Structure 1
Amino acid sequence: MTHSPFQLFEQPIDRINTNSIKWNKYKGRDILPMWVADSDFRVPESITAALHQHVEHGIFGYGQAPERLTELLVERMKQCYDWDIEPEWIAYLPGLVCGLNLAVRALTEADQGVISPKPIYPPFMSSVRLAKRSLSVAPVTLQNNRWRIDLAQTEVTPESKLMLLCNPLNPGGTVYRRDELLALADFAKKHDLYVCSDEIHCDLILDETARHIPFASLNEDAAQRSVTLIAPSKTFNIAGLGASMAIIPNPDLRRQFIRAKAGIVPDVNVLAYTAAQAAYENCQPWLDQQLDFLRHQRTKVEQAINAMPYLKLHPIEATYLAWIDASALPVTSPFKFFESAGVGLSPGADFGNSRFVRLNFACRSDTLDEGLRRMRTAIDELGQTK
């Protein structure tokens, strides 16, 4: 009997009735949930074991960041990304989205503005709106078959004070190369902008010719004007526990950030710290296997989508999210069209372009195969009715 090399990620796990946002959205309906960035993979056993040990202890009082977790984060940034950071640069957060919102409020005044990529992960733009700051757009365009910020078309106003960056890019999956990041750093220096870099997908690099480079690691100027947001949540599927980190080399920016957090943003809960520490200490072999599986899934998605009429998918360098161009599809809403065919994708409108949809392929092979089959069938039937 042969075993799949990906059996860790092919386990049938029923997520109905587990209070899962992803799966509850279509509960009771024959629609495959392939939307929010939440994988269907059971977490590594080391994380489960650490959580069990903590639960068995039976006390869940106020906690603080374990010294070992901070040591692991410092070690990981050096080993994986050749970035030397200091423990005091780290501010722990109960989620990355609150980090985006804190950065906007801490690094800009009420009369200042923020530059955001577009299309982009929705909390980028909502963080600006909720803080009542003015928004300028850095258009994300297709350049040499890769989605990138077009600096030549980026709007800068006299009020602009902060630029938001997403690397790897969500949506789009681009891993910015060093020369591209240096151009962004020069742009920030020229216009005297702070930079908040969301790097939550940094561990999920699928293109083996690419390497994640933290924006703040480029040079001292980039470091001193930056806030870097990272987390083990997407990497190890522990987003529901809530443990994220802001790395802020500049002491003045760090004080502003922590001051904005005080009394509003809660501390990270003790189980989240436990899970994060176990993830960074023991789970690299599991991550390596997951990356192999995601590369397999990515190849399947790219080939299947690009074989369908009307659709186009450009190479996915990172993340488990496919940003599908459905602009040629002769329907009013690509999202509603595929939802009616039994595939629940993320609507492109949420990211800034309603002619796209985003597909999450961090699921079992049979789930992905069925989702792609339903999409192809719907398109074929559309062609027959024309």
Structure 2
Amino acid sequence: MKFDFDKIIPRKTTGCIKYDRRPELLPFWVADMDFESAPEILEALHARVDHGVFGYAQAHAGVNEAVLNYLKTRRHAEVPMEHIVHLGGLVPALSLSARAFCKAGDSLMTCTPAYPPFLGVHHDAKVGLITVDHVLEDGKWTFDWEAMEEAVTPETKLFLLCNPQNPLGRVFTAEEVEKVARFCVKHDMVLVSDEIHCDLVYDESSTPHFSAVNLPAELQKNTITLLAPSKTWNIAGLAFAFAVIPDDTIRRKFTATRGHTLSEINVFAYYAGEAAYKYGEPWRLELVAYLKENRDTLVDFINNQCPGLSILEPEATYLAWIDARELGQENPAKFFEDEAGLFLQDGALFGWPGRVRFNFGCPKSVMMEGLEKMKAACLKLEPASVH
């Protein structure tokens, strides 16, 4: 490998929430990797610093070109520039969508377990939330189509899709995504497809990512696709993202609702995003290969060495969704905090108690330290407690 993903970079006391929120714990919680960004991104940022002036920014020609070329080469879509809305992050875009397309008395729908903001942005719009659990079929998580039809109402105006799914790590097929889109058209809902992890798919031949930008034209009309280089190139703190909104009416409503509630995109974000999309592919390929080795090691370790824990192999993301219900602990994240000194995310935050989410986007040695601590904590339990 050309890039050193085994390098330990001290992050404590640097103002990062991952390590400094609970500095006494070994953190595997927030979706933030411990790797240096691609060297081309660092070079682009250094060059921008050397310019010396950091006034208000707008998207320059280079970043617009990089975004459109990325959509063409990686997402296989020819997208006109007028369909692009630059954003300072995708969570604000979820909130903005709820406020733009729902009014008092309406609701939005999503499938659980779900990334916590999916379960919280309805509060911003002061509307209802409808959740439907994903179901396991033939060893893969998918949609409960019958339950979705039973749960939807005429007042349900928005559907939030996460693909690849966080925290399950599932890459939904073209058929599944199209079926979701047809469900939304049938019930007059705007489909918001959050695809922030789409460049972290482990086997693009067997589980290719199908973006909502590739839906048939008649289904794209009510679709907002959210994309960003942030998770893949580990530049989330720079806050650069964008939406693809083909329909002019939906796009204008989305941007009008923004008003003055979203901050300006910072001057460094555009240049980091441009460098990631233009020059970051070699780094990304090595990153995914490294993460795949971590994933394989983690899945084997959890399933074979940690009594009371189990996991299905994620197809994408660097996030492991671990089933801890057999431990017999009411709050497994708190159990691992107390017994192992680990900071994990509690499944209850995602709508599914009894599980934990573990971020393996870190050097293998760090991941193994955390896994060994989990194993030791599991083995501390009396045999009768693990059932």
TM-score, normalised by the number of residues in structure 2: 0.95
Q: Which amino acid aligns with 1:183?
A: K
Identify if the C-alpha distance between structure 1 residues 273 and 7 changes in structure 2 by more than 3 Å, giving closer, same or farther: closer
For residues 218 and 95 of structure 2, what CA distance do their matches in structure 1 show?
Answer: 23
Q: Deviations over 1:311-352 (max 9, x none)?
A: 110120000000111111111211111112122111111111
Q: CA deviation at 1:6?
A: 7.5
Residue 11 (structure 1) aligned with residue 7 (structure 2): yes
Amino acid in the other structure paired with 1:181: V
Partner SS, residue 236 of structure 2: coil
Cα shift at 1:221:
2.0
From 10, 27, 32, the equivalent of 1:33 is 27
Q: Does the 8 Å CA contact 1:185/1:222 hold for their aligned counterparts? A: yes
Distance 1:6 1:167 in 2: 30
Answering whether residue 187 of structure 2 is matched by residue 204 of structure 1, we say no
Classify the secondary structure of the residue corresponding to 1:196: strand
* Equivalent AA in structure 1 for residue 257 of structure 2: A
CA distance in 2, matches of 1:227, 1:282: 26
% same residue: 40
Q: Which deviates more, 32-41 or 66-75?
A: 66-75
Report the CA distance between 1:283 and its aligned residue: 0.8
Mapped partners of 1:319, 1:33: distance in 2: 17
Where 2:380 maps in the other structure, the secondary structure is: helix
Partner AA of 2:377 in structure 1: A
What's the counterpart of residue 193 of structure 1?
189
* 1:322 aligned residue: 320
1:258-317 CA distance string (max 9 Å, x none): 101121112211111111111111110000000000000000111011112111101200
Q: Could you tell me how far 1:75 is from its partner in structure 2? A: 1.3
Q: Does residue 177 in structure 1 map to residue 173 in structure 2? A: yes
| Preserved contact between residue 138 and residue 151 of structure 1 (Cα < 8 Å) | no
Shift of 1:385: 8.0
State the match for 2:47 in structure 1.
53
- Between the aligned partners of 2:225 and 2:77, the Cα distance in structure 1 is 12
> Are the equivalent residues in 2 in contact too, given 1:206–1:295 (CA < 8 A)?
yes
Alignment partner for residue 162 of structure 2, among 157, 161, 166? Answer: 166
RMSD: 1.3
Q: 2: distance between equivalents of 1:339 and 1:149?
A: 32
Corresponding residue SS for 1:98: helix
Question: Are the aligned partners of 2:135 and 2:142 in contact in 1 as well (CA < 8 Å)?
Answer: yes
In structure 2, the residue matched to 1:287 is: 284
- 1:6–1:293 CA contact under 8 A, matched in 2: no
Question: What runs of 5+ residues in structure 1 fail to find an aligned partner?
Answer: none
- Are residues 11 and 247 of structure 1, via their aligned partners in 2, closer, same or farther at CA, if it must alter by over 3 Å? same
TM-score (norm 1): 0.96
CA positional deviation for 1:384: 5.4
SS state at 2:232 partner: helix
- 1:345 corresponds in structure 2 to 344
The residue aligned with 2:373 is: 374
SS of residue in 2 equivalent to 1:92: strand
Report the counterpart of residue 310 of structure 2 in structure 1.
312
Distance 1:69 1:274 in 2: 7
Task: Provide the secondary structure at the position in 2 that maps to 1:164.
Answer: strand
Residue 75 (str. 1) matches residue 38 (str. 2)? no
Q: Residues 89-108 of structure 1: matches in 2 within 5 Å?
A: 89-108=83-102
Change beyond 3 A, Cα 1:290–1:260: same
